[in-house]
Amino acid sequence: MTEARIGGDLVVETLRALGARTVFGLPGQHALGLFEALRRAPDLRLVSSRVENNLAFAADGHARAKLAEGGPVPVTPMIVSTGPGALLTLASLQESRASAVPVLGISSQVPAAGLGGGRRGYLHELPDQQASFRDVVKSVHVARTASQIPGALRAAWESAATAPYGPTWVEIPQDVLLGAAGLPPITTVSASPPPLAPQPELIAEAADLLAAAENPVILAGGGVARAGAGEQLRELAEALRAPVLSTFGGKGVFGWDHPLSGQSWMEDWHSTEFLADADVLLVLGSGLGELSSNYHRFAPRGRIVQVEADAGKLESNHPALGIQADAGLALSALLERVPRRRPDGRAERAVAELLAKVRDRLAGQELEREQHVLADVRAALPEGTPTFWDMTILGYWAWSAWNADGAPMHSAQGAGGLGFGFPAALGAAAATGGGVLAVSGDGGAMYGIAELATAVEHGLDVTWLIVDDGGYGILREYLTGEFGQTTATELSRPDFVALAGAFGVPAVRSSLGTLRADLADALRSPGPSVVVLPTLLRMFAPTHE
C-alpha cells in the first residue's frame, strides 16, 4: 500500500531537488509531518542534535566546510519545531548572519488558524514568531498552504545563496505539514542566485587609484574566504606588489609565509598603523568593524577602496570608494585592469619589519606558555584538518597567531557567542567525513556537552580540546583589568574526562608537556575524542590604548 503524501513530503522533495543531501533536525510536536517525511527519504541524511542552538551551530559548521570545497553555494537546511525550539536557534543564526554563512532554517508553526496573532491558545504559540527572526536572518518566508511550500523554499534557498550569504527562515503550519500534499511529486526545482558583479565604472576608478599608489596595501576579509577567491587575491597582490593583511574572518585566504603576507595581527598597533599608512588601502570583503579596526582606533591617512557584498557595510565606518560586489568577481575585474609592477623588494621589506615589531612586542610579555600551546596544537594537526574555535583565550590567540595554511580556521568572531566550537565541528565532520578539531574553554564547553551524545550517535570524527582554566578566562581578565577584581567568572565544572567516558567517548587529561602527543593520538583515532588541558593562559597585552 502506497503511503499518502503529505505537506512534509513536499518540503523534503523540494530540498532534495534544490541539492540538499544532509539535513540537520530536532523533532517537535508541530514538526511531526516533517520528520515523517524525512523517514521516507533514505537518500537524505538526517543529523540530529540534543539542543536547538547546537543544531543551528552544526548546520553553520556544515555550510562552512562545504563552502571551503568550492562549487555551487552549499545551503544547509535545518529543521526545528515551533516556539521554544525555534527561538533557541536565534543566537546561532546571529552568528551565521554576521559571518555570512548560508543556512536555511525551517520551522513548523501552529495551525494556520493561529497565525497572524489569532491567539487560539495553541501549544508553543507566539503572537508573531516571524518577528523574532526578521532582524536576525536575511529573509523570512511563510507557506500557508501546501502549494506555497516549493516556492517559499526556493526563494529562501536563493536568498541564503545570494552574496552576501546568510541564514534564511521558512515557517509552515502544523496542519499544512500533516495535510494532503495536493501536488505531484517535486523533482525539479531550480534556484539561481544572481551574481553580485561590480559596477565597471567603479572598478575602473579603483584600478586607477591602485595603479597610481606608491604604497598600496590590501586588507582581506571574510568576503574573500566566502567567495573562495584566494588565488585571485594572490595574483592581485603580486601584480601590485602590495602587502596583504587578513582579518580574523579572512584567515587562510593568503599564504601565511608569503613574502607579502603581514598575517593577521589585527589587535596589534603596529599592524593598525601599517594599514593606516597606506596611500591606497584596498579592503576586500570587510566592513572594517570593531575587531578589524583595532576597536575603532584605526585612522586611515590615505584613500580606501572598499569592496563589500553587504551594501549596509559600505562606508559604514570610513569614507571610501565603495563597491558593492562579490569579492571574487571584483578581484577578477581588477586583475584585468591593474598593471603588473616590477618587484623592487620594498613591500617585502616593509612586511618583514612589521612582523619583526610584532615578535619583539610579544617577546617582552612572558607569553611563552601561550605560544607553546598554540604551536603544539598546530603541530599535532594532520594536513587539511579543519578547526573550529570557541570564544576562549586560546581561540583569541588563534585569531592573530594561527597559521591557517593546511589547517582552516573557523570561529564565532562574527557574533561572538559562546558554545560554537564543538557543535560546529560536528557539522563540519558530517560534511567532510574526515577528522575535525574543536577547541573550547571549560565555560564554553558546558554549552555543548550534551552533543557528545550526538557525536557518538552519528560516529562523527571530532577531537575536542577543552582548555580548563576554571572559569570564563577572558572575562576574568577583562573584569580584573577594568576593576581590579572579578565577579561570576569562577566556575564549578565537571571532571571532563570522566564525563566524556560516561558518553562512551575516549578522553585523556593532558599536560603542557604531553599536549602535542596526546592531541596527535586523538586526531589519528577515528570517531569522537576529548583532550582536556588544565592550564591558565593569558592574553597578550592590548595595543589599542
Contact (CB, 8 A) for 320 and 305: yes
Q: Which residues contact 397 (CB under 8 A, 6 or more apart)?
A: 370, 371, 374, 537, 539, 540
Predicted local distance difference test score (pLDDT) of residue 120: 73
Predicted local distance difference test score (pLDDT) of residue 126: 81
Is pLDDT at 445 greater than 90 in this prediction? Answer: yes
Q: Which residues contact 351 (CB under 8 A, 6 or more apart)?
A: 243, 259, 260, 261, 262
Predicted local distance difference test score (pLDDT) of residue 62: 98
Average pLDDT, the chain: 95
* Range 110-114 contact pairs with CB under 8 angstroms and sequence separation of 24 or more: 110/30, 110/82, 110/173, 110/174, 111/173, 111/174, 111/175, 112/144, 112/173, 112/175, 112/176, 114/173
Predicted local distance difference test score (pLDDT) of residue 121: 74
Predicted local distance difference test score (pLDDT) of residue 542: 72
CA 272 to chain centre: 24
Cell of 111: 495551525
Cell of 510: 593532558
For residues 436-440, average pLDDT = 98
Is pLDDT at 2 greater than 60 in this prediction? Answer: no
Is pLDDT at 127 greater than 70 in this prediction? Answer: yes
Start-to-end C-alpha separation, the chain: 73
Cell of 127: 503572537
Q: Which residues contact 205 (CB under 8 A, 6 or more apart)?
A: 321
CA 544 to chain centre: 25
Give the Cα separation of 160 and 169 in Å (integer).
9
For residues 513-539, average pLDDT = 97
Predicted local distance difference test score (pLDDT) of residue 1: 40
Cell of 104: 536555511
Is pLDDT at 545 greater than 70 in this prediction? Answer: no
The pTM assigned to this predicted structure is 0.96
For residues 475-493, average pLDDT = 92
Predicted local distance difference test score (pLDDT) of residue 544: 57
For residues 353-371, average pLDDT = 95
For residues 478-493, average pLDDT = 92
Q: Which of 370, 369, 404 has its CA nearest to residue 387?
A: 404
Band of residue 413 on the pLDDT scale cut at 50, 70, 90: confident
For residues 267-281, average pLDDT = 96
Q: Which of 86, 3, 89, 80 has its CA nearest to residue 39?
A: 3
- What pLDDT digit, counting tens, does each position of 298-323 carry? 999 999 999 999 999 999 999 999 99
Q: Which of 112, 105, 186, 184 has its CA nearest to residue 143?
A: 112
Radius of gyration over every alpha carbon of the chain, rounded to an integer in angstroms: 24
Predicted local distance difference test score (pLDDT) of residue 335: 98
- H or E segment to which residue 441 belongs: strand 436-441
Contact (CB, 8 A) for 173 and 179: no
Q: Phi/psi at 200 (nearest 5 deg)?
A: -60, -35
Predicted local distance difference test score (pLDDT) of residue 110: 84
For residues 393-412, average pLDDT = 96
- Of all residues in the chain, the percent with pLDDT exceeding 70 is 99
- What pLDDT digit, counting tens, does each position of 143-169 carry? 999 999 999 999 999 999 999 999 999
Band of residue 523 on the pLDDT scale cut at 50, 70, 90: very high
- What pLDDT digit, counting tens, does each position of 82-104 carry? 999 999 999 999 999 999 999 99
Band of residue 434 on the pLDDT scale cut at 50, 70, 90: confident
Band of residue 113 on the pLDDT scale cut at 50, 70, 90: confident
Band of residue 460 on the pLDDT scale cut at 50, 70, 90: very high
For residues 48-70, average pLDDT = 96
DSSP 355: H
Cell of 436: 575535525
DSSP 112: G
Give the Cα separation of 441 and 468 in Å (integer).
6
Is pLDDT at 419 greater than 50 in this prediction? Answer: yes
Contact (CB, 8 A) for 300 and 276: yes
